[in-house]
Structure 1
Amino acid sequence: MNDINNIKLNDGVVVPMLGYGTGTAVRLSGKEESIDFIKMAYSEAKLSHLDCAQRYFNEESIAVAMRDLGIKRDDVFITTKTEDGETPLKSLKKSLMLEEIGLGKAWEMMEQLQRERKTRSIGVSNYRIADLEETLKTAKARRTDDSDTRFVVPSVNQIEVHPYVFEKAKPLIDYCHKKGIAIASYAALASIVRHPGGPVDQVVKDIAKELGMTEDQVLLKWAHQVTYGGIVITTSLKKERLQGQVKAFSHMPDLSDAHVQAIIHAGKKLHYRRFAGHMDS
């Protein structure tokens, strides 16, 4: 995998900290052209963590891009999401043309797939505290090599994280941290891309100017820090922008506590959800 900083999940699997979300590429450019953007993200921006989802019909695009570039399976970390039930899981394996799949909601089946070594990690997406508590009640115990027994805790919870949703998300983020569940945040740039002109804009601009960085870099780093060092999923159709975002993790130092809190404080002045759903427990 590339030299972007990695994090280790609760199951010991190492994941590149920054992932490329392929849903936007498919939505904005279509299935065929999206393959070129995935190739660009991997070869030009050196992003080896590729994020997809069954409902966005972008799994096959990743498989085709890998085939065209001659990418070995061990050279990439693929995260995908599926709905519950056996049919979607069979569809995943067929569309990805891979032996391993990523995140999912069908917990019992995902546990079985992990036991069969068909996936490295299993986690959840858009789970609230109540959803996680219910999952943890039914999670099966398994024996490790040293005969210790432990529960199969989700390795990741992928949720929306940006300044205008952080106040609502924080209890969930804290809960996951206590349970050893990593946060994978998406929509980190929503405050300036999807809802510009809000109270966060000037704060982020000032911090970026002070540090000699871009606003994208500041917000991506912020999302990583407020999720206790979590994974951040980004996206762009522009090579230069993606390359700059990578530098937020390969070259940029951590934001100071003052910077982090300034963005949090500004975000409290407005609530904006980019995607449907809620984070209440």
Structure 2
Amino acid sequence: MSGLSTVKLNDGVQVPVLGYGTGTALYQKEAKDSVKMAYSEAKMHHIDCAEFYANEESVGLALKELGVKREDVFITTKCGSDDPRKSLEKSLKLLGVDQVDLYLIHTPLLFKDTGLGKAWQTMEELQKEGKTKSIGVSNYRISDLEETLKVAKVTPSANQIEVHPYVLDKAQSLIDFCQSKGIHIESYGPLSSIVRHPGGSVDPVVKKIAQELGATDGQVLLKWAHQITHGGIVVTTSSKKERLEEQIKAFTDIKDLSAEQVQAIAEAGKKEHHRVFMQHMDE
């Protein structure tokens, strides 16, 4: 895989710290060319997919055309229906692989009628059968995790949630809960404060820290998301090679933010609240 450092999940699976997301900008769009560029040119070898994004087939085509060895790419995908088994079998076929590295339940809302416990038992079966190396969740609140953990024989390895300064006030207790249970956080939308809500209270603080570190604003926010989640995984995207290379350098060339810098961004974020995805997380 790429030269990026990895994060070790609670089941021993090693995940590249930075993932290339095929949602948001590529949602329901052809992703082949973007994935080929990200993998071969920017050397991002962790590809984050989802059934819900409706582009897994194009991701599979990208990997096939590149001639990627299965062991050289880390593939995450997410269940988009109330049947994790059916969803994973569909995803495996579209991606052209026999196994994914990390399989997540995309949202607990899929199972409000059937229950999270039953869904998780199916996830454990899929892992035991070798269809996925690791199993986790996405957009789970503390209450959702507690319900799951009541029946879990395997603790979820990851919880992929929206993380940026403008949601930290709502996310902090969840981040700390996951840390206490050995569940790694995967952050998505880490650049939302400058991409979707520019001009807010966070901007001047980030710019000041960027100058201090000799980094870009985006690199600071990627590092912040990694550090505020106790060394979690960060998922981001771009259609530009130069931007992806810049994002990778956040984890290869830029030193860690100090505790004071991390806290300064957190405090600035508390002055506003902007959630882009999954409004139920504010409940």
Q: TM-score, normalised by structure 2?
A: 0.91
Between the aligned partners of 2:145 and 2:279, the Cα distance in structure 1 is 15
The superposition leaves residues 116-175 of structure 1 with CA deviations (integer Å, 9 ceiling, x where unpaired) of 112110000000000001101111xxxxxxxxxxx3000000000000001110000000
Instruction: Tell me what 1:209 maps to.
Output: 211
Query: How many angstroms apart in 1 are the aligned matches of 2:179 and 2:58?
Result: 33
Report deviation, 1:18. 0.3
Mapping of 1:107-118 within 5 angstroms?
107-118=120-131
Kept in 2, the 8 Å contact 1:172–1:279? The answer is: no
Aligned to 1:22: 22
Separation (CA, whole Å) in 2 of partners of 1:182 and 1:80: 16
Equivalent residue number for residue 123 of structure 1: 136
Q: Which residue in 2 is equivalent to 1:11?
A: 11
**Is 1:48 matched with 2:50?**
no
Structure 1 residues 48-88: Cα deviation after superposition (integer angstroms, max 9, x where no partner): 10001101112112110100000011001111111331432
| 1-structure distance, mates of 2:232, 2:104 | 18
Q: Within the alignment, does 1:93 sit opposite 2:92 as a pair?
A: yes
Letter in 1 for 2:40: S
2:82 pairs with 1:84 = yes
Structure 2, gaps ≥5 residues long: 106-118
Residue in 2 that maps onto 1:192: 194
CA drift of 1:27 comes to 3.4
Note if contact 1:114-1:120 (Cα within 8 Å) is conserved in structure 2.
yes
Q: Distance in 2 between matches of 1:67 and 1:113?
A: 24
> 1:169-212 deviations in whole A, cap 9, x for unaligned?
00000000000000000000000001111000111111111111
Any conservation in 1 of the 2:4–2:18 contact (CA below 8 Å)? yes
Aligned with 1:138: secondary structure?
coil
Q: Which amino acid aligns with 1:3?
A: G
How much has 1:278 moved relative to structure 2?
3.1
- Report the residue type matching 1:53 in the other structure: A
Q: CA RMSD in A?
A: 1.3
Partner Cα separation in structure 1 for residue 250 and residue 91 of structure 2: 32
Write the mapping of 1:194-273 to structure 2, written as runs, cut at 5 A: 194-273=196-275
Corresponding position: 1:64 with 2:64: no
The residue matched to 2:57 in structure 1 has which SS?
helix
**8 Å Cα contact 1:25/1:37 also seen in 2:** no
| TM-score where L is the length of structure 1 | 0.92
Preserved contact between residue 129 and residue 280 of structure 1 (Cα < 8 Å): no
Superposition misfits of 4+ residues, deviation over 4 angstroms: none
One-letter amino acid of the structure 1 residue matched with residue 99 of structure 2: E
* 1:35 alignment partner, one of 32, 37, 53: 32
SS at match of 1:87: helix
Asked if structure 1 preserves the Cα contact closer than 8 Å seen for 2:190 and 2:236, the reply is: yes
Asked whether the 8 Å contact 1:4–1:246 carries over to 2, the reply is yes
User: How many Å separate the matches in 1 of 2:93 and 2:34?
Assistant: 22
Among residues 164, 167, 170, which one is paired with 2:166 in the alignment? 164
Structure 1 counterpart of 2:129, one-letter code: E
Equivalent residues, number: 267
CA contact (8 A) 2:138 2:160 kept: yes
TM superposition shift of 1:280? 5.3
Distance (Å, rounded) in 1 between the aligned partners of 2:240 and 2:104: 29
Aligned equivalents of 1:269, 1:49: Cα separation in 2: 34
User: For 1:36 and 1:92, how far apart are their aligned partners in 2?
Assistant: 19
What is the rounded CA distance, in whole Å, between the counterparts of 1:185 and 1:170 in structure 2?
13
2:181 aligns with one of 161, 179, 192? 179
Confirm or deny: 8 A CA contact 2:27 2:55 kept in the other structure.
no
Corresponding residue for 2:115?
none
1:13 and 1:27 map into 2 onto residues whose CA distance is: 27
User: In the alignment, what sits opposite 1:155?
Assistant: 157
In 2, distance between residues paired with 1:154 and 1:24? Answer: 24
Structure 2 residue identity aligned to 1:38: V
Distance across 1 between alignment mates of 2:215 and 2:165: 18
Work out the CA distance in 1 between the residues paired with 2:157 and 2:198. Answer: 33
